[in-house]
Chains A and B, each alone.
Chain A
Amino acid sequence: MSGRTADVGPGPAGRRNFLAELLAIACGGLATLAPIGAGLWAFLDPLRRKGAAASFLPVTELSALPDDGVPRQFAVITERADAWTGFAAEPVGAVYLRREKGSGTVEALSATCPHAGCFVEMESGGRCFRCPCHNSTFTLDGGIVAPSPSPRPMDALECRVAKNGEVEVKWQKFRAGVAEKVVQ
């Protein structure tokens, strides 16, 4: 030690010292809390963001969907906001539509795998769906083919045929990896 500072001995023990310690910690802590708090406040912002409200989106025309019970893949196109960027009309995902022989109603399945979110594809022979990630396999109506890593069947989406012949699908996302179908 250079000896430039005078030796400071242990101060008078007792209340005054304890108070000083407490105050020092409180002041320092409060001062540090401000930036951390402000940071966290902004960081937690995504928690109060909700997904876009689900709405029926036109996907195709009924006449474009052969009634042969074979699912066909269609892009879901809608406007979309990504933080500060707005997209007028963008493909945001895909659905499989399927129509039984002679039926006027359409079944819609989300192409998003309920296991962990990969893109489910049609097996090359067209006999079933298969997810390329962990091999979850589904029947053509979306049912689970056991044994499967996926906890639930493919997610069916509400679907209706509008007066002008358009097939409209209620575009929703569901939580992956859980047995129940919970809207995200």
Chain B
Amino acid sequence: MNRPDTRSSVARKGPLGRLADFLDDRTGYRAVMHEALYERVPGGARWRYVWGSTLVFAFMTQVITGLFLWASYSASAQTAWESVYYIQHEMTGGWLLRGIHHFMAQAMVVLLALHLLQVVIDGAYRAPREVNFWLGLVLMMLVLGMALTGYLLPWDQKGYWATIVATNLAGIVPVFGPSIQQLVIGGTEYGHHTLTRFFALHAGFLPGALILMLVVHLALFRKHGLHAKRPFTRPDAMFWPDQVLKDAVAMLAVMAVVLGVILMPALRAMLLGEPVHAGHLGAELGAPADPSLPYAAARPEWYFLFLFQFLKVFEGWGATGEFLGAIVVPGLIMGVMFLMPIIGNWRLGHRFNVAFTLGVVAGAGLLTAMALNEDYYALWVDKAPLAEAQKLYDETGGDETKLAAALGGDAARIGVVQRQWRKLEKIRHSQAFLDAAKQARLDAARAIELAGRPEKIPPAGMLELVRADAKSQGPRLFAQHCASCHAHVDPRSPGAEAILAKASAANLFEFGRASWMRGLLDPAQVAGPAYFGNTAHKEGDMVSFVQGDLADADQWKKDDIEAVIVAMASEAGLADPGVQPAILERGRALVADGERCGGCHKLGDNGTDLGSAPDLTGWGTRDWLVGIITDPTHARFYGDTNDRMPSFGKAAEGAAPMLSPQQIGLLADWLRGDWYRP
């Protein structure tokens, strides 16, 4: 190495030059810089050498963005989602920071695969570079470990459920499995310590180990020099600036791709003239983790999808299959990779290594494609030719003997239909996933909307807020407790008829509003399936009143009925704000009138006794709804004419009721459409 003599020119140097001399004297930095930059690149700089540098760059990006994220992140079950929400949606530029970290992690996995492929194909693992190859494999596992642990940190549904699968798989490692599992999740349940441990791994142990190994990896790389690809077509060049220029361009390209992925939706929105919400750019944030809420869209990050899919390959193998799929086969593949430098010495060894690596990559690609196909099948399959098979399925309930009977034992036809049934099953599964993914997006959007309330997130965390939200909990509670009898469907929507016909109690869509009341007081509808048609009240007094008195134009004028409708909606607090007070007055008087509705119904102090019909005082209000859900057999509601409706809020001595007061309140709020709106 020829070190230029710096001393001789000292007299001509300015203050900066003299400072540099001073420093070099004390540290010898010039020699180090020279050593680092003036490496000979045999055969000249080439694009094919850039992969390693882009990886180092990607890692540096992760360190930088990670440290800044760390400055705003809080690892606990009540603050992780909340702090990530704050970064993503409230901090200026938080979306960009998080977006870069999120997508650069994915870029890193891709670059890692490319780097590995190139090293194997070029045979760069051979002597004397074996140790460096092994180090590279360890580095790869560390990077994957960081990807895995990072996925949990936002503590959202997808990270939570993916981690449950991952840690349960760790638990099937023989002997130590359960202990390993317990150590990483920090106990027997997922919670604070799962997060603190994953965070310590993600931001401390793993990157620390990675940096140590990376230093050695790079030192060894310099020691052995670049593994140059022959033949050389150009003269040797220097690392600085020739190769560094190419490296830097590649880094910029990687960053451009990452930024492109983040900004693409913004660009599209701008072109379409739609508003751009910065918080929705970059990495997505799901709904907060909830162990009691099924998450049917649970999938790992795309680069782990092949492992996820691999578990399905061993269907029917029982525990052995799971052990093979999750531990043995991946372990064997890594084992073979570690042996590559040795295998490479054998005749045909190098070819084996290349074929093996390409095979693994192709296999992983295939599994990924299979996983995606299973999930999104319903989107691209043509359902038209399956209509016939679907009809047969509905008729026979999927029973094969019934199918044979239906087709008159025509074996060829049966075979065709059975094949189509399998296709239909695939569509159903895919549709279930797509629906779950859609629900997950809705839940996430709602959680984010709630978190943005001016009151902010309560100290107990976001989950408390979500669980107390009528808009998201109402439909679930209704589906579970009410929908076996009641419908909740817009009667004008397509398919409503079939749903109404199946229901055995009133349709509660827009209950409390004028539209609902208008239907009830319509002689054509009151005994229909949307109201009392499928109940014991079909022959009741109300039905005969509506079909008799109300239908008689002499007794009830059109405007009177309309006034009653409006007055009732106003009683519920759900009337249009524009109604005239005079009409309300008139309607209220009609309802209270002992000769009309008031003959059976109580309204305020109209003198009617409770019991013969539901009390209309405060009809449709939250309080009224809570009352009737709690106990419809109360004299205030149906008393002993109650038709099958359970008393959800009443229980025997010492027992818990079917629904808690909070749940009943949520149902009432949801039915009324009372929930937080931004």
Contact = CB atoms under 8 A, between A and B. Distances in A.
Given A82-B77, A175-B171, A63 B646 contact: yes
B658 A64 contact: yes
A60 B652 CA distance: 12
A111 interface: yes
Nearest to A136: B315
Interface in B282-303: 290-298
Interface stretch (B14-22, B99-107, B187-195, B613-621): B187-195
B298 A133 contact: yes
A37 interface: no
Interface of B: 77-78, 161, 164-165, 168-169, 171-172, 178-179, 182-183, 185-189, 191-193, 290-298, 308, 311-312, 314-316, 318-323, 326, 397-398, 428-429, 432-433, 436, 480, 484, 646, 651-658
Nearest to A58: B656
A165 B650 CA distance: 13
B326 to A, nearest CB: 8
B322 A75 contact: no
Contacts, number: 158
Contact of A132 (B186, B296, B480, B655): B296
B296 A117 contact: no
Interface of A: 43-44, 46-47, 49-51, 58, 60-61, 63-64, 66, 72-73, 75-76, 80, 82-85, 90-94, 111, 115-119, 121, 123-125, 127, 130, 132-135, 146-149, 151-152, 162, 164-166, 173, 175-179, 184
A160 to B, nearest CB: 14
A111 B294 contact: yes
Contacts of A73: 480
A166 B292 contact: no
A178 B321 CA distance: 10
A60 B660 CA distance: 11
A142 to B, nearest CB: 16
Contact of A47 (B164, B179, B432, B657): B179
Chain B binding surface, main DSSP class:
loop
A78 to B, nearest CB: 11
A49 B193 CA distance: 12
Given A118-B298, A123-B428, A164-B655, 20 more contacts: A46-B182, A46-B185, A47-B179, A47-B182, A61-B652, A75-B292, A94-B294, A117-B168, A119-B296, A119-B298, A132-B433, A134-B308, A134-B311, A135-B429, A149-B311, A149-B314, A176-B171, A177-B323, A177-B326, A178-B319
Nearest to B657: A61
A125 B179 CA distance: 40
Contacts of B397: 127
Contact of A92 (B291, B294, B297, B298): B291
Contact of B164 (A46, A75, A118, A121): A118
B425 to A, nearest CB: 10
Of B298, B308, B484, the most chain A CB neighbours within 10 A belong to: B298
Contacts of B179: 47
B655 A46 contact: no
Nearest to B653: A164
A121 B294 contact: yes
B656 A118 contact: no
B655 A116 contact: no
Contacts of B318: 151-152, 179
Given A46-B182, A117-B164, A85 B292 contact: no
A20 B189 CA distance: 50
B183 A124 contact: no
Given A116-B169, A119-B296, A132-B436, A49 B187 contact: yes
13 contacts: A47-B183, A64-B658, A111-B294, A115-B311, A119-B294, A121-B294, A125-B398, A134-B311, A135-B315, A147-B315, A148-B316, A149-B312, A165-B652
Given A94-B292, A119-B161, A166-B656, A177 B322 contact: yes
A174 to B, nearest CB: 11
A60 B658 contact: yes
B414 to A, nearest CB: 20
Contact of B428 (A91, A117, A124): A124
A41 to B, nearest CB: 13
A162 B654 CA distance: 11
Nearest to A66: B484
Given A83-B187, A85-B192, A94-B292, A177 B168 contact: yes
B183 A44 contact: yes
B165 A133 contact: yes
Nearest to B428: A124
A79 B316 CA distance: 38
Nearest to A89: B660
Contacts of A124: 428, 432
A148 B315 contact: yes
Contact of B322 (A60, A84, A118, A149): A149
A91 to B, nearest CB: 3
A127 B295 CA distance: 20
B291 A177 contact: no
A143 B398 CA distance: 19
A176 B177 CA distance: 11
Given A151-B318, A178-B319, A46 B193 contact: yes
A43 B205 CA distance: 13
Contacts of A72: 480
A66 B481 CA distance: 12
B186 A46 contact: yes
Contacts of B653: 164
Given A178-B172, A178-B319, A117 B165 contact: yes
B83 to A, nearest CB: 16
Contacts of A133: 165, 298, 308
B488 to A, nearest CB: 18
Contacts of A94: 292, 294
Contacts of B293: 119
Contacts of B484: 66
Smallest CB-CB A-B distances: 6 pairs? A147-B316, A91-B292, A82-B191, A132-B296, A151-B319, A119-B294
A151 B480 contact: no
A61 B651 contact: yes
Contacts of A125: 398
B250 to A, nearest CB: 38
B164 A116 contact: yes
A39 B292 CA distance: 34
A61 B178 contact: no
Nearest to B184: A46
B192 A175 contact: no
B193 A83 contact: yes
Contacts of A115: 311, 322
A176 B323 CA distance: 11
A112 B326 CA distance: 19
B311 A116 contact: yes
Nearest to B481: A64
A177 B177 CA distance: 11
Nearest to B297: A132
B133 to A, nearest CB: 29
A92 B289 CA distance: 12
Contacts of B294: 94, 111, 119, 121, 132
Of A91, A123, A149, A165, the most chain B CB neighbours within 10 A belong to: A149
A29 to B, nearest CB: 19
